[in-house]
Amino acid sequence: MPQLTRSPAWQALAAHRGALASATIRDLFAHDVDRARRFCVEAAGLCFDYSKHRLTDETLRLLVALAEQADVGGWTRRMFAGEAINSSEGRAVLHVALRAGAGPFPAGGDVMPEVSGTLARMRAFADAVRSGDWRGATGELISDVVNIGIGGSDLGPRMVTRALRAYCAPRPRLHFVSNADPADLAAVLAALDPAHTLFIVTSKTFTTAETLSNAERARAWNRDALGERAAARHFVAVSANVPAATAFGISADAVFPMWDWVGGRYSLWSAVGLPIVLAVGFERFAEFLAGARAMDEHFREAPAHRNIPILMGLLGVWYTNFWGAQSHCVLPYAEDLRDLPAYLQQLEMESNGKRIDRDGNPVDYATAPVIWGAAGTNSQHSFHQLLHQGTLLVPSDFVLFRRGAEPAAAHAMLTANGLAQSAALMAGKDDPAAPHRALPGNQPSSTFLLPALDPRALGALIAAYEHKVFAQGVVWNINSFDQWGVEHGKVLARNLLPRILQGGEAHELDASTRALLARLRAG
In this chain, which residue has its C-beta nearest to ligand F6P? 264
d(CA 4, CA 58): 20
Query: Is 445 or 483 the residue whose CB approaches ligand F6P more closely?
Result: 483
- Catalytic option among 301, 381, 429, 488: 381
Is 350 catalytic? The answer is yes
Shortest Cβ distance from residue 483 to ligand F6P (Å)? 5
Shortest Cβ distance from residue 158 to ligand F6P (Å)? 12
Shortest Cβ distance from residue 343 to ligand F6P (Å)? 11
Query: Is 139 or 489 the residue whose CB approaches ligand F6P more closely?
Result: 489
Residue whose C-alpha is closest to residue 402's, from 42, 156, 161: 42
Task: Count, in order, helices (H) and strands (E) of the chain.
Answer: 21, 11
Beta bridge pairs of residue 446: 397
Shortest Cβ distance from residue 240 to ligand F6P (Å)? 8
Residue whose C-alpha is closest to residue 425's, from 132, 26, 125: 26
Give the containing element (helix H, strand E) for 200: strand 197-202
Query: Is 25 or 268 the residue whose CB approaches ligand F6P more closely?
Result: 268
Shortest Cβ distance from residue 350 to ligand F6P (Å)? 6
Query: Is 422 or 483 the residue whose CB approaches ligand F6P more closely?
Result: 483
Shortest Cβ distance from residue 410 to ligand F6P (Å)? 35
Strand stretches in 99-182, DSSP E? 144-148, 173-177
For residue 229, give the amino acid letter: R
Query: Is 98 or 334 the residue whose CB approaches ligand F6P more closely?
Result: 98
d(CA 245, CA 203): 9
d(CA 370, CA 327): 4
Q: Quick check: 276 and 165 in contact, CB under 8 A?
A: no
d(CA 443, CA 58): 20
Residue whose C-alpha is closest to residue 390's, from 330, 328, 441: 441
Query: Is 30 or 209 the residue whose CB approaches ligand F6P more closely?
Result: 209
d(CA 480, CA 464): 15
Shortest Cβ distance from residue 206 to ligand F6P (Å)? 7
Is 381 catalytic? The answer is yes
Query: Is 213 or 380 the residue whose CB approaches ligand F6P more closely?
Result: 213
Residue numbers of the site for ligand F6P (CB under 6 A)? 150-153, 203-205, 208, 211, 264-265, 350, 483, 486
Q: Which residues contact 406 (CB under 8 A, 6 or more apart)?
A: 414
- Catalytic option among 68, 283, 301, 490: 490
Is 490 catalytic? The answer is yes
Give the containing element (helix H, strand E) for 332: strand 327-332
Handedness of CA 270, 346, 185, 501 (dihedral sign): positive
Query: Is 264 or 444 the residue whose CB approaches ligand F6P more closely?
Result: 264
| C-alpha gyration radius of the chain | 24
Shortest Cβ distance from residue 147 to ligand F6P (Å)? 11
CA dihedral 8, 307, 156, 271 (to 10 degrees): -110
DSSP code at position 518: H
Residue 375, CA atoms < 13 Å, CB-side half-sphere: 12
- Catalytic option among 350, 411, 466, 467: 350
Residue 34's CB is within 10 A of a number of other CB atoms, namely 8
Cite the active site residues. Answer: 350, 381, 490
